[in-house]
């Protein structure tokens, strides 16, 4: 089993010392994929000043020089990789998630990707949609951009059928049926790496407030039994605000490192692994 970590919401508002305090030791053993927002808007969330709340102001990640320096150095050391996490992360005025709105999604993906790549001297292969939400247009734009999806999106209603379409439907529902034998596992809608003509998709196991160490272990045993990989998804700012949640992360990472069948690697390596 391959194991990696995805962490969302790194942006202009991120204090690099917080990232270092959380992942400084972890990332020496398990590469962490930071899903970054290139031009983050003002949201009601810990770590974001509320002065401009309700406006459409956005802040360029490149303007946080301390963060950019820290990320570039960590990328050189192989501790982090970078994914694109939306463009502004702002919902539309009617509360529609960013990549379910009426936008030129392909243009946003291209601009966001190129901006992060230029800012951090890296190559971006993965996309994490804000709120894990996509519509038919944004999914088509994702495939056209040749970015792969790191998340649990699984609506077949919004897909353009290709030669992998039927195969993925069958695998998805087979995974769902098998999950009933393990009721305490945090099984996602599909456990398998899904391949399409121009992109791949891989689910993640959430670590959010309320998730226990036991639930994560049960999920590991379930995924091991069906020979699947494990990507843990979380938010650094929730870990920072919640010491119990952070302790669960550390416990679980140590547990995984102690398993003889677990190979720590990057999210990119898992998503682009071929199992066809």
Grouped pLDDT means (10 residues each) for the chain, 276 residues: 97 97 97 97 80 80 97 97 94 80 91 97 96 87 91 61 68 65 58 76 92 93 89 96 97 98 97 71
What pLDDT, on a 0 to 100 scale, did the predictor assign at position 157? 56
Residue 208 located in a structural domain: yes
Q: How many domains does the chain have?
A: 1
In a domain, 121, yes or no: yes
* pLDDT reported for residue 225: 86
Q: 252: domain range?
A: 2-271
Reduced to 3 states (helix: H, G, I; strand: E, B; else coil), residue 24 is: coil
Q: Is residue 276 part of a domain?
A: no
Q: How far apart are CA 141 and CA 111, in angstroms?
A: 13
Is 204 exposed, middle or buried (CB count within 10 Å of its CB: 0-12, 13-18, 19+)? buried
pLDDT at residue number 45: 81
Q: What percent of the chain has pLDDT over 70?
A: 82
**Planar angle of CA 259, 260, 263, nearest 5 degrees:** 85
CATH number at residue 22: 3.20.20.370
**Axis-axis angle for helices 213-225, 243-257 (nearest 10):** 30
Q: How many Cβ atoms from other residues are within 10 Å of residue 146's Cβ?
A: 10
């Amino acid at each position: 089993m391959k194991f990696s970590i995805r962490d969302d919401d790194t942006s202009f508002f991120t204090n690099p010392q917080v990232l270092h305090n959380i992942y400084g030791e972890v990332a020496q053993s398990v590469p962490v994929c930071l899903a970054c927002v290139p031009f983050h808007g003002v949201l009601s969330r810990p770590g974001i000043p509320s002065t401009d709340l309700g406006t459409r102001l956005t802040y360029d990640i490149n303007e946080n020089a301390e963060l950019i320096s820290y990320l570039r150095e960590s990328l050189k050391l192989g501790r982090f990789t970078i994914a694109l996490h939306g463009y502004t992360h702002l919902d539309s005025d009617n509360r529609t998630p960013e990549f379910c709105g009426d936008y030129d999604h392909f243009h946003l993906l291209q601009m966001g990707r190129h901006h992060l790549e230029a800012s951090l001297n890296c190559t971006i292969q993965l996309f994490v949609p804000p709120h894990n939400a996509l519509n038919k247009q944004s999914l088509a734009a994702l495939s056209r951009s040749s970015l792969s999806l790191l998340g649990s999106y699984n609506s077949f209603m919004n897909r353009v059928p290709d030669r992998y379409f039927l195969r993925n439907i069958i695998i998805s529902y087979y995974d769902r049926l098998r999950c009933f034998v393990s009721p305490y596992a945090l099984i996602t809608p599909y456990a398998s790496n899904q391949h399409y003509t121009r992109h791949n998709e891989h689910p993640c196991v959430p670590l959010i407030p309320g998730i226990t160490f036991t639930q994560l272990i049960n999920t590991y045993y379930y995924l091991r039994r069906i020979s699947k990989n494990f990507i843990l998804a979380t938010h650094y700012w929730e870990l920072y605000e919640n010491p119990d949640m952070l302790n669960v992360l550390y416990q679980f990472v140590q547990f995984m490192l102690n398993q003889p069948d677990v190979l720590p690697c990057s999210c990119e390596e898992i998503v682009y692994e071929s199992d066809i």
